């Protein structure tokens, strides 16, 4: 119904207000409607805080009795960090619940809907489901696989170069695109780079947007522990630093990095490099639900080759660098066109003078 779409859009807009702060929980917004009027609304602010439904029902008070509740995710029916939302909905006397999608969490997965229906509440599921699944794509991947959602971000020229032959890469994209990149850092749990990027650029990898206090966990993939002890990200104490390395790394160097506050994860070596599949499993166990990969080309290529990229974000700048520049993706050793790694474009956005392409594995 047109009415259901209207109020679900509001629930989705509310849910987005928690972006970057709810992990490992999903983003959820809720709207209480009585006689066609919104009488209560809320969104989940961070893990451990009240859920969106509870906030909306509390705001509505007695007006929630006989009202409709719109929420972008099936209400939970289990005790986690907070009590079940289904109990609060039933107690409030809501007559109808409209959910955009069922909860992919195996602990819920339709049980919340059943609990509400058993209590005599009318339940409809599927209003704006596609938009709801897109919003919580990180949560869906993590809760069903216990592995983080991996986003590979590439800033490149029209001809696919990320730097000059000298390694110079500042700046391929314009200021608006760089601001967007910092916004992305505030959305995802962690940002990951290869040691080549650290040695070439000495990045901080922090989120430097006004008013944004959350910094991502910073992960460096460095099979030989070559990270300099005076790297800028080690001097910046605002955020955790993880070094992903292998057993072949020098133990003395590893110990010195640990003394600087670096958390070290060791995996077995795959062709002399960090085992990325194993690394993602370990990071998932640490409740890191999403990773923004910012380079360089070797790390991005390895993730693509192993099928570990869930989304590509390509900032395409209107300039040409030429054949002697550094490619955004290096050798994948593909010998037939039918074996090329294929993606499908989902959206195109103009950001300043640059274009942002969003693509998913096809």
The full length of the chain comes to 362
| 288-311 exposure pattern, b = at least 16 Cβ within 10 A, e = fewer | bbbbbbbbbbbbbbbbbbeebbbb
**What is the signed CA dihedral for 281, 283, 284, 285, rounded to 10 degrees?**
90
Strand duo 269-270 + 273-274: pairing: antiparallel
Q: Which residues are catalytic?
A: 53
The C-alpha angle with vertex 183 and arms to 290 and 307, in degrees rounded to 5, equals: 35
Whole-angstrom Cα distance, residue 47 to residue 44?
8
- How big is the chain by its Cα radius of gyration, in Å? 23
Residue 73 gets which letter from DSSP?
S
Helix axes 85-92, 111-118, angle to 10 degrees: 20
Report which of 235, 233, 236 is spatially closest to residue 220, judged by C-alpha positions. 233
Type and span of the H or E element at 139: helix 137-145
End-to-end, the C-alpha distance of the chain in Å comes to 32
- Total H helices, total E strands in the chain: 12, 18
Backbone phi, psi, residue 359, to 5°:
-140, 150
Query: Which residue shows structure tokens 């209400």?
Result: 75
Strand duo 354-361 + 343-351: pairing: antiparallel
CB 90, CB 119: distance < 8 Å: yes
Preceding omega of 296 cis (within 30 degrees of 0)? yes
């Amino acid at each position: 119904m047109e009415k259901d779409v209207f109020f679900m859009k509001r629930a989705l807009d509310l849910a987005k207000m928690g972006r970057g702060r709810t992990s490992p929980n999903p983003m959820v917004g809720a709207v209480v409607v009585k006689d066609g009027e919104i009488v209560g609304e809320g969104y989940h602010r961070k893990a451990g805080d009240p859920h969106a439904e509870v906030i909306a029902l509390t705001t509505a008070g007695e007006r929630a009795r006989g009202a409709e509740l719109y929420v972008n995710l099936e209400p939970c029916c289990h005790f986690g960090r907070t009590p079940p939302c289904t109990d609060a909905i039933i107690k409030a006397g809501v007559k109808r619940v409209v959910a955009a999608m069922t909860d992919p969490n195996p602990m819920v997965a339709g049980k919340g809907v059943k609990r509400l229906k058993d209590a005599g509440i009318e339940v409809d599921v599927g209003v704006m489901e596609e938009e709801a699944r897109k919003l919580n794509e990180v949560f869906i991947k993590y809760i069903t696989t216990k592995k983080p959602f991996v986003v590979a971000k590439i800033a490149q020229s029209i001809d696919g170069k990320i730097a000059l032959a000298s390694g110079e890469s500042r700046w391929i994209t314009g200021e608006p695109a760089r601001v967007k990149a910092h916004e992305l850092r505030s959305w995802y749990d962690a940002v990951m780079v290869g040691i080549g990027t650290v040695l070439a650029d000495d990045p901080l990898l922090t989120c430097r947007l006004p008013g944004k206090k959350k910094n991502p966990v910073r992960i460096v993939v460095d099979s030989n522990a070559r990270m300099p002890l005076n790297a800028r990200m080690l001097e910046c104490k605002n955020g955790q630093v993880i070094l992903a390395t292998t057993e072949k790394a020098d133990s003395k160097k590893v110990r010195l990095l640990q003394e600087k506050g670096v958390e070290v994860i060791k995996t077995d070596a795959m062709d002399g490099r960090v085992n990325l599949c194993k690394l993602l499993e370990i990071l998932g166990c640490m409740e890191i639900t999403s990773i923004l990969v910012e380079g360089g080309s070797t790390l991005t290529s390895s993730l693509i080759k192993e099928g570990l990229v869930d989304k590509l974000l390509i900032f395409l700048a209107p300039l040409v660098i030429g054949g002697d520049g550094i490619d955004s993706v290096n050798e994948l050793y593909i010998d037939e066109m039918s074996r090329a790694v294929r993606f499908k474009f989902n959206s195109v956005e103009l950001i300043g003078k640059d274009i942002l392409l969003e693509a998913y594995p096809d």
